[in-house]
Structure 1
Amino acid sequence: MRPKTARLGGVLAAGVALSLALAACGGGETGTTPGGGDTGAAPTSVKIGFIGDLTGDNAAIVIPPRNGAQLAIDEYNAKNPKVKIELVPLDSKADPSTAANLAKTAITEHKVVGIIGPAFSGESQQVQPILEEAKIPSVSPSATRTALADAGMQFWHRVVANDDVQGPAAAEFVARAVKPKKAFVIDDKSAYGQGLGQAVQKALGSSAEVQTDSFEATATDFSSTVNKVAAFNPDFVFFGGYYAQAGPLLKQLRDKGIKAGFMSGDGSLHTQLIEGAGAEQAEGALLSCPCKIAYAWAAQDENSKKFTDTFKSKFSGQLPEIYATEGYDAASAFIKAIEAGNTDPVKINDFLKTVDFQGLGKQVKFTDKGEVEDKNVYIYQVKGGEIVSVGNSTEATIG
C-alpha cells in the first residue's frame, strides 16, 4: 500500500546534516541502551519503531499490523527473555514528509534498533535513505510499490509481495474467473493506486478492451469518473486505491445503475469498504491481497483461527483485519534476530538476510533485494455483508 506519491528530493540532502547524530544511534552490543547512555554492558531492552498512519483516513488498515506487531512482542516479552522489546508507535498520518521526520526522531531520540514499516509506499520512499544512512533495518508489513526493491537499499525488507505480483495475479484471476470483454481501470493517483492500476491494466489488456481514469486521493465526488464508466458500459471495474474512497465510489457506481463487477486491491480490503458502499451495493465485490486475512481464513486454517481468537481477546473484540498477520510476522523476524543474541542494528540486519521461518501468513525469507520470496496472492469477496476468502488467485472461483 502507498497513499500520496512521495519524492526523494530533499531527503538525501538532509542526510549529511544528520550523519553526526546518526553515528551515535542504535543500541545493543555497543553498550548503548534505548534512550541514551553508555552502560558498558549489553542492554536488557531494545526499542523497535512502528511508522504508519494511525489516526488518518486510512488508519483502519494500519492499526491492525501495529496491533499484530504488538501482540508478537507482548508474547515474546511474557517469556521473560534476557532482552525485552519495546514497540514505539509513530503516527505518520500517511504523510511522507512526516514519516521522514519520525524516522529521524526514532533514530536520534528513541534510539531504535529497527523499524516495522513504514506502512505505505510513499512514506517508504522518503524513509528508505534515512534508515539506510543510519544503518537501521526495517521490515514493512504492507508497502507494495515495486520500485522500493530497486533502490539498492541493504537495510530494507518487506513481508508482502509487490504490485508487479499482485496486479497480474488479480488480472489473471479476473480474466479466468470473470472473463470480461470490457474493463474500466480507475486509480487514485497515489503511488500505490497508480502502480496497481497500471499492473492490472497491462495484464487485462491482452484479453479485454480497457479504458482508464484517475482522480485525486482526496476526492469525495466521483461523478466525472462514474459518468465515464457509464458511457463505456464495461463488464468489470477495477479500482487501485483505498477503502476510504472505494466504498463511496462503489456506492456511486451502483446508484448510477452500473452493474459491472467490481474489484479492488489490498488497500480496500477492510470491512469499512462495506460500510462506505452499503451492504447491498458492496455484495459480490472482489478484493485481492498478497496476504492472509486471519478471520477470513479461520474456518479453513487452525492457525488463522487461533490468531483471530487471541487478537480479538487482546484488542477488545477487534478483528485481525488486513496486514495484522504481516505485522505479527514482521515483528517475529526482529524477535528471532534478538533471540539469537543480536541487539546491534547492523547485526540484526545481517540476521534478517538469513531468516527463514513459517510465519502466520507465509514463509518469511527475504531475497537479496529485501523482497519476501512468497508470491501467493489471495482473492476475497463480500458475501452477506462479510469479507470471506475464496482462495488462492490461481485456483479461486466465484459463484
Structure 2
Amino acid sequence: MRATGAVALSAVLAVSASACGGDSGGSGDGDSVTIGFMGDLTGESAGIVIPPKQGALLAIEEYNATNPKVKIKFKTYDSQGKGEQAVPLAKSAITKDKIVGLIGPAFSGESQQVDPVLEEGKIPSISASATNAALSKNGWKFFHRIVGNDDVQGTGVGTFITSGLGAKKVFVVHDNSEYGKPLGTTVERTVKAAGATTQVGVIDPNASDYSATVNQVKAFAPDAVFFGGYYAQAGKLVKQLRQAGVKARFLSGDGSLDPGLAKGAGGTVADGSVIGCPCLIDPTGKASPASKKFSEAYKAKYKTETAIYSAEGYDAATAFIAAIKAGNTKAEDINKFLSTVDVPGVSKQIKFTPQGDPASSAIYVYQIKGATLPLIGDAKTSKLN
C-alpha cells in the first residue's frame, strides 16, 4: 500500500461507477445498500487515498461476512483529487448508483465542490482525510469527517515544533492550495504565539524548481522548516533544501505522510523529517490495542502494513455500518443516525459535532527513517532532540 504498490493494487480493487437509475436521496433495494468512496485513486497523491479506501473495504467485507439482513455494496469513484472530475462523479453516484452514503471526498478542494451536490441530493458523507477547517463552517447538514481539521492539526504540529523540538526560528512554506495554505497559516500563528520568529514562503506545486523559496529559507537560517502541502512536492523541497546546505529540521502535515516523500527526496535525504497527522498508524498497539487488531487484519488482507488514514477509512465505514445495523437504509435516515452515533472506532470514539467534525481528535507525529514512518507519539507531549 506504499505509494507505487498501492497504486497498482488500486487498479485491481477499484470499481467504476455503473448506471442503474434512481433519484436524489438514495435507498437500498431491501437486501442491500450502496456506499461510495471518492478520491484520488490513480493520480500523484493516490498513496494517501488508497489506504483509507482499503480500510473502508475491509470494514464492509467484515460486516458482509456476518450475513446481515442488509448487505453493503461498495463502489469507488476515482476523482484524481480534481473537483471538475469529482462533481460529475458525485452526480452519477446519486442519480444512477443510488448511493446512501459516501466515504469522501478525500481532499479538501474537491470536497468544497462536491459537498454542495451531496447536500442537494441529501446524501451523507464522511471524509477520512479532508482537513480544511472551513469545510465544517458551511452549514452543511450531510457533511461529516473522521479526522481533526487543519486548525487542530496546525495547532498540534506548531506546539510540537516549539515544545517538542524547541525551535526558535521557523520558516513556513505552503503550496497556496485550499489544504496547504490554511495549514501553514495555523502552524505559523501557533509558533509565533509561542515566541518563535517566523517567515513565510510559497511554492508553485506544478513547478520543479523551488530555488527562489529555498534561497529565502537559507537566508533566514531557521531551526525548523514546515511545509503545508503534499508529499510529491515535499520530497522535492527537502532534496533542494539539503542540496542548498539547509540543515534545519523539516516538518510537514498529513498530506506528506507517505513514503513517496522520502523517495522523492532521494535515498535517506529526508531521514529525521517529522510528519504530523490527525491519524493513527499504530501496528504495534503503542497508542491503541484496537489499532493493533485492525492492523493485523489489514495486513492479512492486503499483505502490507497500515498507512495514512487506513484506520480512519475503516472508522468512516464503521459509522455507516452502525447506522445500517440500526435499521436505517435510506440516506436521510442514515444521516439522522450519524448525528447521534457514538461507537468505538479504531482511531478514536466515533462521534460527531453538529458541524460534522469529530468530537475529539489527537494529533500524532511520525519520523521518517528510510522507507518507514514510525510513530513518535502525541504531538502535545512528545519530545525529539
TM (norm. structure 2) is 0.91
Given that 2:26 and 2:94 are in contact with CA atoms closer than 8 Å, whether structure 1 keeps it comes out as yes
SS at match of 1:282: coil
Whether 2:336 is the aligned partner of 1:336: answer no
Given that 1:188 and 1:214 are in contact with CA atoms closer than 8 Å, whether structure 2 keeps it comes out as yes
Q: Cα deviation per residue 1:178-224 (whole Å; 9 max; x = unaligned)?
A: 22221110001110000100000111123111111111222222122
Given that 2:41 and 2:79 are in contact with CA atoms closer than 8 Å, whether structure 1 keeps it comes out as yes
SS at match of 1:86: strand
Q: Say what the alpha-carbon RMSD is for the aligned residues.
A: 1.5
> Structure 2 counterpart of 1:336, which letter?
A
> Structure 2 counterpart of 1:267, which letter?
G
Matched residues in 2 for 1:49 and 1:388: separation? 31
5+ long unaligned stretches in structure 1: 1-20, 34-42
Matched residues in 2 for 1:220 and 1:54: separation? 23
> Structure 2 counterpart of 1:332, which letter?
T
SS at match of 1:292: coil
Aligned with residue 352 of structure 2, among 352, 366, 387: 366
Partner of residue 243, structure 2: 255
Which one is further off, 346-355 or 374-383? 374-383
Partner of residue 267, structure 1: 255
Residues 86 and 23 (structure 1), Cα distance of their counterparts in 2 relative to 1, 3 Å cut: closer
Whether 2:356 is the aligned partner of 1:354: answer no
Aligned with residue 320 of structure 1, among 288, 295, 306: 306
SS at match of 2:33: strand
SS at match of 2:374: strand
Partner of residue 225, structure 2: 237
Given that 1:294 and 1:321 are in contact with CA atoms closer than 8 Å, whether structure 2 keeps it comes out as no
Aligned with residue 56 of structure 1, among 43, 50, 56: 43
Number of residue pairs matched?
364
State the Cα distance separating 1:384 from its structure 2 match. 5.3
Partner of residue 294, structure 1: 282
State the Cα distance separating 1:25 from its structure 2 match. 4.7
Report sequence identity in percent: 51
Partner of residue 18, structure 2: none
> Structure 2 counterpart of 1:398, which letter?
L
Q: Cα deviation per residue 1:226-269 (whole Å; 9 max; x = unaligned)?
A: 11111111111000011111111111111111100110000001
Partner of residue 8, structure 1: none
Matched residues in 1 for 2:276 and 2:39: separation? 21
TM (norm. structure 1) is 0.88
Aligned with residue 104 of structure 1, among 61, 76, 91: 91
Matched residues in 2 for 1:23 and 1:105: separation? 10
Matched residues in 2 for 1:24 and 1:234: separation? 53
Aligned with residue 378 of structure 1, among 337, 345, 364: 364
SS at match of 1:280: coil
State the Cα distance separating 1:117 from its structure 2 match. 0.3
Q: Cα deviation per residue 1:267-326 (whole Å; 9 max; x = unaligned)?
A: 00112212122342111111111110133x5455433222222212211x2221100100
Given that 1:183 and 1:235 are in contact with CA atoms closer than 8 Å, whether structure 2 keeps it comes out as yes
Aligned with residue 280 of structure 1, among 268, 289, 295: 268
